[in-house]
């Protein structure tokens, strides 16, 4: 499937009886862009168009996000990964480079663990799942009763006023203005009850009051089998930059870049810088091609041999 030059067209498909929205741009080897919590495929527009000259770029709205359906059901990382697998299969994409931001980074890693044969490269942008720490705002959002609070406070007029206030603060040189605008941008999708419920289900699948409750750090060694890039905004106050540095140290052969002009949303704060990092990463690495036999060998290199329970330890 090819998109018109210069376009980032929105498409709809029905999978398992539910609406799934995705956007597509360009032509060439496929790149899949996976957004984070409270974002949608539309937030990838600048990056997608930057990459579209050499790649078919496909960006799905995760279930319960953007304009995709928000059913009552499973919002775990595995469910999001399986939904993307089904979408790619339905539109004829077998293998691709995956790029995941924040929650989308966790989804991208889960996709790789579940479907390694379908992944050629992996790029993690300010990714979740690489450490315990996360912003107090997200920990607070995981508390009981937040759904009622959100329904009482999130209104278009209030969010508009907060966004304008953030803009005035930015023009006066206050960094807090940037954060206030980021918060209001994140809250806008929660004006509908279905979106609020999907957000809370997704959030509570990965975060609780103590921090991130899902970690990929025990399996980072598996990424040595695939070209991996880690990118972080140097002004990120949502997920610490130190998570990216530690992950880079734990993934043999991985690449690591920071973007000085970006906070937690590099694809919005510095889309040109992120696009250049991704373009270089893709052009300078050969795509991985993993099959079931390879996966077994990868696990065997790091895992002790099985032994019958009751046998003496070796």
Q: Which pLDDT score is estimated for 152?
A: 45
Buried b (16+ CB within 10 A) or exposed e, 135-159: beebbebbeeebeeebeeebeeeeb
Q: What percent of the chain has pLDDT over 70?
A: 72
Report yes or no: 159 and 184 within 8 Å, Cβ to Cβ: yes
Token pair listed for 118: 């379908």
Give the model confidence (pLDDT) of 57-116 as tens digits: 999 999 888 888 888 888 888 999 999 999 999 999 999 999 999 999 999 999 999 999
Q: Which pLDDT score is estimated for 149?
A: 45
Q: Which pLDDT score is estimated for 72?
A: 81
Give the separation between CA 66 and CA 206, rounded to whole angstroms: 19
Which of 62-76, 159-173, 182-196, 204-218 is most confident?
Answer: 62-76
Token look-up 């050499």 returns 54
DSSP reduced 3-state for 298:
helix
Q: Which pLDDT score is estimated for 297?
A: 78
CATH numeric code, 1-131+215-314: 3.40.50.1820
End-to-end Cα distance, the chain: 54
> In the 8-state DSSP scheme, what is residue 307?
-
Give backbone dihedrals phi and psi of 126, rounded to 5 degrees, phi first: 45, 55
Give backbone dihedrals phi and psi of 205, rounded to 5 degrees, phi first: -75, -20
pTM: 0.81
As to burial, measured by CB atoms within 10 angstroms (0-12 exposed, 13-18 middle, 19+ buried), residue 314 is exposed
Residues ≥6 apart with Cβ < 8 Å to 303? none
* Residues that are catalytic: 102, 236, 264
In this model, does residue 238 exceed pLDDT 90? Answer: no
In this model, does residue 208 exceed pLDDT 50? Answer: yes
In this model, does residue 221 exceed pLDDT 70? Answer: yes
* Residue-range domain boundaries for the chain: 1-131+215-314, 135-213
In this model, does residue 137 exceed pLDDT 90? Answer: no
Q: Which pLDDT score is estimated for 10?
A: 93
Token look-up 């595995």 returns 78
As to burial, measured by CB atoms within 10 angstroms (0-12 exposed, 13-18 middle, 19+ buried), residue 19 is middle
Q: Which pLDDT score is estimated for 24?
A: 97
Q: Which pLDDT score is estimated for 294?
A: 76
Report yes or no: 23 and 11 within 8 Å, Cβ to Cβ: yes
Q: What is the mean pLDDT of residues 14-21?
A: 93
Report yes or no: 210 and 151 within 8 Å, Cβ to Cβ: no
Give the model confidence (pLDDT) of 185-205 as tens digits: 556 556 566 666 677 667 666
Give the separation between CA 104 and CA 303, rounded to whole angstroms: 28
Give the model confidence (pLDDT) of 23-62 as tens digits: 999 999 999 999 998 788 999 999 999 999 999 999 999 9
Q: Which pLDDT score is estimated for 292?
A: 74
């Amino acid at each position: 499937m090819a998109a018109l030059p210069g376009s980032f067209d929105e498409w709809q498909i029905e999978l398992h009886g539910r609406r799934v929205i995705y956007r597509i741009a360009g032509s060439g080897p496929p790149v899949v862009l996976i957004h984070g919590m409270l974002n949608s495929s539309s937030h990838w527009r600048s990056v997608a168009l930057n990459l579209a000259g050499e790649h078919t770029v496909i960006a799905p709205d995760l279930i319960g996000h953007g304009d995709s359906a928000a059913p009552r059901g499973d919002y775990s990382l595995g469910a999001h990964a399986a939904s993307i697998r089904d979408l790619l299969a339905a539109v004829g994409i077998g293998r691709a480079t995956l790029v995941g931001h924040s929650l989308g980074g966790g989804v991208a890693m889960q996709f790789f663990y579940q479907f390694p044969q379908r992944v050629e490269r992996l790029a993690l942008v300010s990714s979740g799942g690489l450490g315990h720490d996360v912003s107090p705002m997200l920990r607070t959002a995981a508390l009981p009763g937040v759904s009622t609070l959100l329904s009482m406070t999130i209104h278009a007029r209030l969010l508009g006023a907060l966004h304008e206030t953030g803009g005035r603060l930015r023009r006066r040189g206050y960094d807090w203005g940037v954060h206030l605008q980021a918060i209001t941008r994140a809250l806008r999708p929660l004006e509908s009850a279905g979106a609020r419920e999907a957000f809370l289900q997704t959030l509570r699948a990965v975060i609780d009051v103590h921090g991130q409750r899902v970690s990929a750090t025990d399996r980072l060694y598996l990424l040595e089998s695939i070209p991996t890039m880690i990118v972080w905004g140097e002004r990120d106050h949502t997920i610490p930059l130190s998570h990216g540095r530690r992950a880079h140290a734990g993934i043999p052969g991985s690449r690591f870049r920071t973007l000085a002009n970006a906070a937690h949303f590099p694809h919005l704060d510095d889309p040109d810088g992120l696009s250049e990092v991704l373009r270089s990463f893709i052009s300078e690495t050969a795509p991985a091609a993993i099959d079931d036999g390879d996966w077994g060998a990868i696990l065997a290199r790091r895992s002790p041999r099985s032994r019958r329970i009751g046998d003496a330890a070796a």
